[in-house]
Amino acid sequence: MNNNKELYYANEDILCITDNVKSIGWESIKEQSLQRIVYLVKVLYSFTHLNENIFGYYHFSVSLYGPFSGLIKNSVIYLKSDMFLLDTDDGGVKYNRSNSFVWKNVEKEKWIKTIILILGKYGENRIFGFTINDPLYKEAVENNQVRELDTSSPENRTIKVLNEFKQAFEETLSSTSFIDAEKYLDLYFEYIFSQIINKNHLHEL
Amino acid sequence: MNYDFRNNTDFKEILRQQEKRILRRTIEGIQETSTFKQFYLSLISYLRKSAFFDFKVLLINKQDLENLSSGNCINKLFAILDSDDCVHNNYVVLNNELNIVDKIYNNNYQNSNSARRIYAELSHDFVVFLLQPNAIVTYFIDGEDFGENIFFTMEDYRSYEEKKSIDRICELFEDYRQRLKSRDVYNKFFVSKSHLLSLKTDMGSQLDDKKYIYDNKQLLENKPEDKFREDLRFFLSEKLKANFLSKEYILENFKRLDIFILDESGYELYLIEVKWVGISINPSGKKTGTSYSERDIVPNAVKQTVGYLRQLFDEQKNIKLGYLAVFDARKEDLPDTGNSINNLCFENEDAIHFRKFRKIADFRVLNEHPA
Amino acid sequence: MKEIDYICIHLLFTVFNKTMRKIYLPELISINIKNFTLYPNGLNYEYDFVKGVNLIIGGNGMGKTTFVNIIKYAIIGHYKKQFDYTKTYKDRLIEKRILYPLNYFKNRMDDEFVKTENAKVIIHFNINQKRFKVERDLEEITLSSFSVDGNIIDGTLISQSKYEALNENDKSVFLQFKYEKLIEQYSGLLFDDLIFFVNEILFFGEDHKTILWNDGVTGSNVQNELFNNYFNSPELNRERQEAQRQAKYFDSLSRHRSEDIRAIRKVLDKVSNNDGSSDSTIDMIKFQSDIEDIDYEIEKIQSSRVSNDTRVSLLQNKLNELIINSNELEIQKNKTESELISKAWETLHPQYDIFAKNIEYNHICPICNKPNDNLFHDLLEHPNCCFSCGAEIEEITDDNLKKKYKDISNEYKNIHIQIQNNQKEIKQSDDLNRNLDNEFRVLDLKKRKLQTKLRAVEFSKSKNNENSDLQVFRDEIFRLEKEKDLNQEKSRIELARADLFSREIESQITQNVSKFSSLFSSFAESFLGVTCSLTFDNLNGTSKRRFYPVIDGRIRFYEEELSESQRFFIDHSFRMSILSFFYTTPTFYIVETPDSSLDISYENNAATVFLKFLKQPNSLIITSNLNNSSFVNYIVDNKEDICVSIIGLLDIAKQSVIQNTSEILLNMYRDIKSKISKNNE
């Protein structure tokens, strides 16, 4: 099938993620968490990058367990088949150090690493909360959307919300020149988490 | 969740109040390097995995932290933290190879203000990491305390952690039973007195007003299942650390699941089917409407719930348990509707799924003050 | 549109629209038709509406549609369409309400019969508990009198057509004006919006105009109007409608200019053809015309691109769904496989399963990592054979297990075939997109070349100061072009204004989509028997969202994707879910011959849908010629305790018409009548 090019891109990304989470102390990671991380990596991309979304080959849909992309599933199968990933006892996978891989795409690695360093604070079990509260995902669920999630567009709903978030800072604080985009992301996730734990509202999916 | 930041004056107020902290969080410093972040996050991962209920201080000087040799760094870190030296001492100094260079046992370790002053002092020479229970790690750099978050306090976090995880849902059912005794709550479900009076006229009853109201006080409003479901769901969503699916989950034969819960991590499913017994008023409001009795619960409702469990299982959803919640609004005081469940027989197929079925003890709803 | 406009509208919006509006539609109580000789045996016909089914039964030509039109006329008057843009006449904006033909009722009367006075209708209805009694003349279309809660309202009488011709400022003394104002006060709706509701939402006529698929290309954008009524205050709604009318007006002005330009170009073409000589003016004009043609082509390509993108988007989503489903099947298959007895040493390699999956999902040989479709097909066809050497893996002796395994393997195979096909379709669509992009590039290049040539000619012309005879034409075209562009721009601005209102309410609609969808499902699924839901999305390239039905997992963009009766009942379901959701007080819903295109298997379902709607007190008015008596009987025999009452035109119609009616029909009618009176005892 002609999709092999995309499969190999996905393979790179998945290995990059599994390697990076290892360096923050996660001994394994579940396949669903991989789905969720890649989703966030893709949907947030345009907040800090002006070029076209380099993760455009992923297509996400709403599913019971959060955002789902068939390509990620296929990639995990390939990686397990070739033993780049090994199964762990708790139902997850881990990066097989003995079958190592060299990252070619520096830009992708940098961005993936950035996202993981932000999400890492909250732990693997909290990532679900971030995806279902993602503005784009939420909107798709509310509207019973039957087409794929619009994660490629640089104007997607999540990016719009992030920009307004940033604007609120710019309008309120005396100086925001020291806050770069990554720090905004960090603050944004902290804000979302604060909303999750301060559930004064009915928590709806 | 409110995403409208443009017009959110409360949000902007928070920003104004926290301006200093935001400034401190976002200026450049060693805490922005990825080596630092990886180290910090690894500490958090370690705490999450271990039953840590201690206070421990890790000290490492800036150069060593920046020059941490990666590679087997993390494994080494975990090993060091597990080691006897680290366990027995509460002040530990590490070098860039993550070897213990110095260790102290000081009885006065605390999380108090005086202790924090000490840490701040130390942080002129070292980067100080304070490991705390609940997987919290705060750090001190150059005399500054980097502990508090901007949008939530540690208190918020702790009370969130104290929220019951889904395995303790039974305790919540008990709490809910108590809640149903409060007037504000049970009032919603029943037909109001004034409505009862007009009903008396419509039904042509010869009884006097007081007697009629007394006889019919357990008459439920139309479509009570919606009200019961919403009330239970609202209560649980406030107290449970879980995610409630509001988007309807529709099974093959169009049946809609009443309350469908995913645990915090989003991997495990639980369902609650809500039923009621008693009498409700007709939608026109002019006569009695539907009524359900114990016979509708056993076997019908039970079989229905077990059916859902089987269906979900067939669809390979990781369904853990299915609860049946029955709101008992019957006039008479009758035994629990689930009493004859044990006499039920299930065929082989359903028997497996029946093991995941749980009947919650009836939620008795009385339209009277418990006093 | 200026920044300030956006801010103003947004502020106005946040101030006015904290909650959903409560709208009170008319609740029908009774109707009295006098001296209408179409019903000569009912010259003083009285009927009390029930909360339930009101059946209007009559043969062809007995006046069922007329009766329904009398009801509508009695409430709102003889209006076919609410106040709106109708046309541009000699550059003047004509906006007005449209009336039905004035002699509509008169022409249906039978002049064989003598009557003492004019035919008239008196109707009683409630709006939010306020009792209206309205009397209108059926021959001279006029509002004769009305009272509210017994208080007769004073006002000058005037025929409806004359009223429409008046200036706004002159209307206030007339009875009709007072009527409209009082209706507005109690219903929460502008009177024009009530006309909209009565004609478009509460009425499903024999022309079978659906509203779910009506996106404003032909006719008005009903969904847009409907939701703006419920979620916008009357003031903001009026502003929005005003902006829409202005947009249409400017658009038509711009199109008129286009027509004029085209006419002049045609003349010039002729001239140049006859002349044979080339004239720079003519060249310029030709270039401009060619550029316009190319623009038109480009627009077509862009819209194809958009609809193709939507298609791909839907396919990608479907692909993910298929993969999720295959995952579930796979686990079932594995379970079955593990039920098979496995021998001690001859077991599979521990990686066999994952190798097999790699083949099935990625079509790759797991050993050498090269693409291999043959392996894929082989494995699916022979799931019980080793993919490497072909040997049978397990000897299955149990027949039941064998069958079970075979069934699951087939299902599994089918889903993988579906996945493969889906991926092919996606690839085709991607290729199509590439072709469209190429076509676009070619046209764009052509356009640029022409523009360069045009500029060259313009430049040389200005240098040479040519004095052409055709200068006057050129000047005229230039002037017209300017006007056309100006009007197009104005139209765009007004449209943007109107759209802003619609987009503001989108978030409010979004919050309620799942409730609408579940109401819709409960109605639609009773009819169709497959899963139905609503999705709220923007799928045609505009940024405006609207509801689309998703039937059996597929979104139905066009009504032609469903059969006739499916289409109607989906539309009914949509209307009913909206009316149920916003229910305040009982109202009415008129359907003409709903059973006309039903086949036997759907009759009961159709009755179920209507009966479900009546769980909340409402008056359903159905006309029937008993063509499909089982449908009517299902309604009459209903076990939901829903009231049924009959308007028997067969009793009040002309004698000779009745005599010409078939015995069968008359018998059916009598049966139904007696059943109903028995039920009502």
C389 φ/ψ angles, rounded to the nearest 5 degrees: -115, -10
Does the beta carbon of C329 lie under 8 angstroms from any beta carbon of chain A?
A: no
User: Buried (b) or exposed (e) across C2-37, using 16+ Cβ within 10 A?
Assistant: eeeeeeebeebbeeebeeebebbbbbbeebbbbbbb
pLDDT surpasses 60 at C344: no
The minimal CB distance from A32 to the residues B44, B74, B267 is found for B267
pLDDT surpasses 90 at A54: yes
Which pLDDT score, from 0 to 100, does residue A203 have? Answer: 40
Return the domain boundaries, chain A: 4-197
For residue B77, the chain A residues in CB contact (below 8 A) are: 25
Does the beta carbon of A110 lie under 8 angstroms from any beta carbon of chain B?
A: no
pLDDT surpasses 60 at B109: no
Whole-angstrom distance, CA of residue C223 vs CA of residue C214: 7
Q: What percent of chain B has pLDDT over 90?
A: 6
The minimal CB distance from A65 to the residues B78, B149, B267 is found for B267
- Select from A20, A128, A185 the residue whose CB has the most chain B CBs within 10 Å, as the one to mutate to test that interface: A128
Q: Do A173 and B16 touch (CB under 8 A)?
A: yes
Query: Residue C80: which of C167, C192, C231 has the closest Cα?
Result: C192
Q: How far is A2 from chain B (nearest CA, A)?
A: 30
Q: What percent of chain A has pLDDT over 70?
A: 94
Which pLDDT score, from 0 to 100, does residue A1 have? Answer: 43
Does the beta carbon of A147 lie under 8 angstroms from any beta carbon of chain C?
A: yes
Does the beta carbon of C518 lie under 8 angstroms from any beta carbon of chain A?
A: no
Q: How far is A178 from chain B (nearest CA, A)?
A: 6
Does the beta carbon of C241 lie under 8 angstroms from any beta carbon of chain A?
A: no
Q: How far is C617 from chain B (nearest CA, A)?
A: 7
Q: How far is B89 from chain A (nearest CA, A)?
A: 23
Q: Do C521 and B254 touch (CB under 8 A)?
A: yes
Q: What confidence category does residue B316 fall into, taking pLDDT thresholds of 50, 70 and 90?
A: low
Whole-angstrom distance, CA of residue B161 vs CA of residue B135: 11
Q: pLDDT tens across B153-184, in order?
A: 888 888 787 777 787 888 889 999 999 998 88
pLDDT surpasses 90 at C30: yes
Which pLDDT score, from 0 to 100, does residue C270 have? Answer: 80
Q: How far is C424 from chain A (nearest CA, A)?
A: 9
Please name the residue of chain A whose CA is at the shortest distance from the CA of residue B13: A172
CA dist A136 to A131, A132, A145, B3, Å? 9, 9, 11, 11
For tokens 């502990």, the residue is B147
The minimal CB distance from A143 to the residues C362, C371, C510 is found for C510
Give the chains touching B; criterion: ≥3 Cβ pairs < 8 Å. A, C
Q: What confidence category does residue C16 fall into, taking pLDDT thresholds of 50, 70 and 90?
A: very low
Which pLDDT score, from 0 to 100, does residue A200 have? Answer: 47
Whole-angstrom distance, CA of residue B251 vs CA of residue A64: 12
Does the beta carbon of C616 lie under 8 angstroms from any beta carbon of chain B?
A: yes
* Helix axis angle, C280-339 to C471-504, nearest 10°: 30
Q: pLDDT tens across C365-382, in order?
A: 999 999 999 999 999 998
Task: Find the farthest-apart pair of alpha carbons in chain C and give their distance in angstroms, rounded.
Answer: 106
Q: What confidence category does residue C342 fall into, taking pLDDT thresholds of 50, 70 and 90?
A: low
Mean pLDDT on A86-92? 88
Q: How far is C233 from chain B (nearest CA, A)?
A: 21
Give the chains touching A; criterion: ≥3 Cβ pairs < 8 Å. B, C
Q: pLDDT tens across A23-38, in order?
A: 898 989 999 999 999 9
The minimal CB distance from A146 to the residues C319, C363, C535 is found for C535
Whole-angstrom distance, CA of residue B70 vs CA of residue B68: 6
Whole-angstrom distance, CA of residue B289 vs CA of residue C519: 21
Which pLDDT score, from 0 to 100, does residue C459 have? Answer: 83
How many CB contacts within 8 angstroms connect chain A with chain C?
Answer: 95
Asked whether B35 and B68 are in contact (CB, 8 A), the reply is: yes
Q: pLDDT tens across C248-298, in order?
A: 999 999 999 999 988 888 887 787 777 655 667 778 878 888 898 999 999
For tokens 């693409």, the residue is C371
Asked whether C377 and C358 are in contact (CB, 8 A), the reply is: no
Which pLDDT score, from 0 to 100, does residue B64 have? Answer: 82
Q: How close are the terminal C-alpha atoms of chain C, in Å?
A: 65
Q: What confidence category does residue C465 fall into, taking pLDDT thresholds of 50, 70 and 90?
A: low
Mean pLDDT on C316-325? 92
**DSSP letter at C559?**
G
User: B240 pairs with which residues across the strands?
Assistant: B164
Which of B241-255, B267-281, C50-64 is predicted least confidently?
Answer: B241-255
Cβ within 8 Å of A, C 614-653: none
Whether residue B335 is preceded by a cis peptide bond, meaning omega within 30 degrees of 0, is no
Query: Residue B140: which of B29, B14, B4, B272 has the closest Cα?
Result: B29
CA dist A21 to A181, B39, C394, Å? 22, 12, 41
User: In this structure, which amino acid lies at residue C370?
Assistant: K
Mean pLDDT on C471-500? 89
pLDDT surpasses 80 at B204: yes
Mean pLDDT on C505-516? 87
List the helix and strand counts (H, then E) for chain B.
16, 14
pLDDT surpasses 80 at C650: yes
What is the three-class DSSP state of C44? strand
> For chain C, what is the mean pLDDT?
87
For residue C510, the chain A residues in CB contact (below 8 A) are: 139, 142-143
- Classify the phi-psi angles of C149: left when phi > 0, otherwise alpha if psi is within -120 to 50, otherwise beta: left
Whole-angstrom distance, CA of residue C534 vs CA of residue C541: 19
Q: What confidence category does residue C570 fall into, taking pLDDT thresholds of 50, 70 and 90?
A: very high
The minimal CB distance from B34 to the residues A65, A117, A142 is found for A117
pLDDT surpasses 50 at C442: yes
**CATH code for residues B9-162:** 3.40.1700
Whole-angstrom distance, CA of residue C273 vs CA of residue C267: 10
Q: Do C521 and B247 touch (CB under 8 A)?
A: no
Q: Do C518 and B248 touch (CB under 8 A)?
A: yes
Q: What confidence category does residue B265 fall into, taking pLDDT thresholds of 50, 70 and 90?
A: confident
Does the beta carbon of A198 lie under 8 angstroms from any beta carbon of chain B?
A: yes
Q: What confidence category does residue C69 fall into, taking pLDDT thresholds of 50, 70 and 90?
A: very high
CA dist C71 to C26, C47, C76, C590, C625, Å? 11, 11, 9, 10, 19
For residue A65, the chain B residues in CB contact (below 8 A) are: 262, 266-267
Residue B28 in tokens: 């450049």
For residue C314, the chain A residues in CB contact (below 8 A) are: 146-148
pLDDT surpasses 80 at C321: yes
Which pLDDT score, from 0 to 100, does residue C309 have? Answer: 92
What would you report as the CA-atom Rg of chain B, rounded to the nearest whole angstrom? Answer: 29
Does the beta carbon of C161 lie under 8 angstroms from any beta carbon of chain A?
A: no
For residue C319, the chain A residues in CB contact (below 8 A) are: 59, 70
Whole-angstrom distance, CA of residue B314 vs CA of residue B310: 6
Q: pLDDT tens across A106-136, in order?
A: 899 999 999 999 999 999 989 999 998 999 9
Query: Residue C226: which of C191, C247, C201 has the closest Cα?
Result: C201
Residues 6+ apart with CB under 8 A from A137: A39, A62, A66, A67, A131, A149
Which pLDDT score, from 0 to 100, does residue B298 have? Answer: 82
Does the beta carbon of C334 lie under 8 angstroms from any beta carbon of chain B?
A: no
Query: Residue C476: which of C668, C177, C279, C260 has the closest Cα?
Result: C260
Residue C192 in tokens: 């024009």
- Select from C313, C315, C361 the residue whose CB has the most chain A CBs within 10 Å, as the one to mutate to test that interface: C361
Q: pLDDT tens across C96-105, in order?
A: 899 999 999 9
Q: How far is A84 from chain C (nearest CA, A)?
A: 13
Within 13 A of C240's CA, how many CA atoms are on the CB side? 26
Query: Residue C141: which of C184, C61, C79 has the closest Cα?
Result: C79
Q: Do A187 and B4 touch (CB under 8 A)?
A: no
Return the domain boundaries, chain B: 9-162, 166-364
Within 13 A of C80's CA, how many CA atoms are on the CB side? 10
Q: Please state, as a whole number, how many other Cβ atoms lie within 10 Å of the Cβ of residue B154.
A: 14
Query: Residue B35: which of B96, B113, B102, B88 has the closest Cα?
Result: B96
Which pLDDT score, from 0 to 100, does residue A202 have? Answer: 40
For tokens 């409003």, the residue is B221
The minimal CB distance from A191 to the residues B12, B151, B156 is found for B151
Asked whether C457 and C466 are in contact (CB, 8 A), the reply is: no
Residues 6+ apart with CB under 8 A from C501: C9, C13, C228, C232, C236, C237, C239, C240, C243
Asked whether C350 and C446 are in contact (CB, 8 A), the reply is: no
pLDDT surpasses 90 at B22: no
Q: What confidence category does residue C419 fall into, taking pLDDT thresholds of 50, 70 and 90?
A: very high
Mean pLDDT on C294-318? 93
Q: Do C51 and B246 touch (CB under 8 A)?
A: no
Q: pLDDT tens across C276-285, in order?
A: 556 677 788 7
Q: pLDDT tens across C574-613, in order?
A: 999 999 999 889 999 999 998 887 878 888 889 999 999 9
Which pLDDT score, from 0 to 100, does residue A205 have? Answer: 35
Mean pLDDT on B209-235? 87
Which pLDDT score, from 0 to 100, does residue A204 have? Answer: 41
What would you report as the CA-atom Rg of chain C, rounded to the nearest whole angstrom? Answer: 33
pLDDT surpasses 80 at C412: yes
Give, for C623, the enclosing helix (H) or strand (E).
Answer: strand C619-624
Cβ within 8 Å of A, C 411-470: 423, 427
Q: What percent of chain C has pLDDT over 90?
A: 47
ipTM surpasses cut 0.90: no
Does the beta carbon of B160 lie under 8 angstroms from any beta carbon of chain A?
A: yes
Residue C613 in tokens: 């709607």
Which pLDDT score, from 0 to 100, does residue C640 have? Answer: 79
Q: Do C514 and B247 touch (CB under 8 A)?
A: yes
Locate all alpha helices (DSSP H) within C582-662, ordered by sequence. Answer: 600-613, 629-636, 649-652, 655-659
Which pLDDT score, from 0 to 100, does residue C6 have? Answer: 59
Which pLDDT score, from 0 to 100, does residue B69 have? Answer: 67
Q: Do B22 and A138 touch (CB under 8 A)?
A: no
Asked whether C50 and C29 are in contact (CB, 8 A), the reply is: no
Asked whether B368 and B331 are in contact (CB, 8 A), the reply is: no
pLDDT surpasses 70 at B249: no
Q: Which of residues C144 and B82 earns the better pLDDT score?
A: C144
